[in-house]
Each structure stands twice: as structure tokens, then as C-alpha cells.
Structure 1
């Protein structure tokens, strides 16, 4: 499953860069969890969670980001900002890029500001 996750993270990164975002970090790991992508959108720091679900029997990819997962992402983002103080004064947002469905009919959705810190 990790290989599929890496593939979708790369795909999301490429698509977001095509939209003008700049990559700052990938797979930033803390004891609180991992940030899939840390990017900059103009003056805004963007922490991106990438999710893939082959089938929606337990909900779609975006809804798999629970309040507990959001809290871990927020803590990991705070850790990243503390380690990179030059970015700490910029506005921040949390985006989700979700991929749903089998390979031949995959749907992609980019949720800007998917949740608030």
C-alpha cells in the first residue's frame, strides 16, 4: 500500500506544481505524524494530505481524515513551522487531495482549506 501512497503523493505534487504551488518538503515526519507535502501557494504555506481509496465502502478518501487525524496534522505542521521559522509568519492552510475509485475510473478532488487549525 505504501507504493500506491507514494505514487499518489507524487501525482498530487505534480498536479499542484502545475497549478503554481512550490514544493518545500515531502514526507516530513514528526512524532505526531507525517505531512505528505508542504508547499507554498503565493505567500501561503500549504500542508497537503493525500488520500487514496479504491472503493468507497467505508466512505471516500477525503472523509477518511477524521478529527483525530486533523489534530495530528496540525501538530506536525506546528512542528514544521517551528523548524522553519522563516515561514512561520505566513498564513497557513490545510488542503486535501483525494483520489477515489479504481485505476481506470479514478476521480481526483483538491479541497483547498479542507479544515481549519
Structure 2
């Protein structure tokens, strides 16, 4: 191994890369939980230009579910379930409308916005909480 390769492999990960990996892991756990409770995951990380992204789009019976996923490490000050502000809820409603428009209209059961909070403690298994109809 040459010195350039050694130097590159010893560089620390950039913070945004670690945050992205944490988010992906949390979304994987959230998708698994939604599937376990009988929901069907239709799409993940759906982007709508500059308007933002829906973490998970799922079907729960005849309802469409737009799911926001928040993942936090143990020791963080904010619990993941406290992350949906009124502004965030409004943005999610707008993204849900855009998703519906681009996918053929509203389902008969309407649209619901859920939140999945994933807490990764320093020790032990992740804690996954699913709150239905948060916005």
C-alpha cells in the first residue's frame, strides 16, 4: 500500500456521510416495522424537486401513508418523536399532494401522515416507535 492510500484510508468520515448512513439505517428499520404491521412500502426517498423528500410512502389497507422517519443516537437532546414541527407537517402535506398527483390520484382511504422515531441507544437494540396520523 502506498502512502497516499494509507493517508486516504485514515481520514475520518465526513459528518454528513455519517448522518446519511444513520438516516438510511433508521429508514431501513422503519420500513421493516411498517411491513411487520401489515403495511406495504411503495416507495422510499421520493424526491420532488426542491420541495423536499418523503422518506417512505406506504399503503395501509386502502389509505396512503406518507411516513417521516427520524433517527437519533442515544444521548441526543431531542427525542425523535418531537421532530415534526407544524412547518414540517405542512411541508409533508404538500409533498403528499404532489405524490398523489404524480401517481394517479388519491386512494379511497385518503392520506395519512405518520412518524417513525428510531432511537439508537449506546447499548442494546434500537427502539422503533410508530405514531399514526401525526399531521
- The reply to whether TM is greater than 0.5 is yes
Matched residues in 1 for 2:40 and 2:120: separation? 28
Aligned residue number for residue 73 of structure 1: 92
Q: Tell me which moved more, 104-113 or 38-47.
A: 104-113
Q: Is the 8 A contact 1:44 1:92 kept in 2?
A: yes
Q: Which has the higher strand share?
A: 1
TM-score by length of 2: 0.77
Gaps of 5+ in 2: 1-18
Matched residues in 2 for 1:17 and 1:8: separation? 14
Aligned residue number for residue 71 of structure 2: 52
Bigger Rg over Cα: 2
Matched residues in 2 for 1:63 and 1:24: separation? 25
Q: How many residues align?
A: 113
What is the DSSP-based 3-state SS (H/G/I as helix, E as strand, rest coil) of the residue aligned with 1:26?
Answer: strand
Deviations 1:14-51 (A, max 9, x none): 11111110111110011211100000000010011110
What is the DSSP-based 3-state SS (H/G/I as helix, E as strand, rest coil) of the residue aligned with 1:114?
Answer: coil
Gaps of 5+ in 1: none
RMSD: 1.4
What is the DSSP-based 3-state SS (H/G/I as helix, E as strand, rest coil) of the residue aligned with 2:79?
Answer: coil
* Deviant stretches of 4+, over 6 Å: none
Q: Is the 8 A contact 2:30 2:128 kept in 1?
A: no
Q: Tell me which moved more, 10-19 or 39-48.
A: 10-19
Aligned residue number for residue 93 of structure 1: 112
Aligned residue number for residue 63 of structure 1: 82
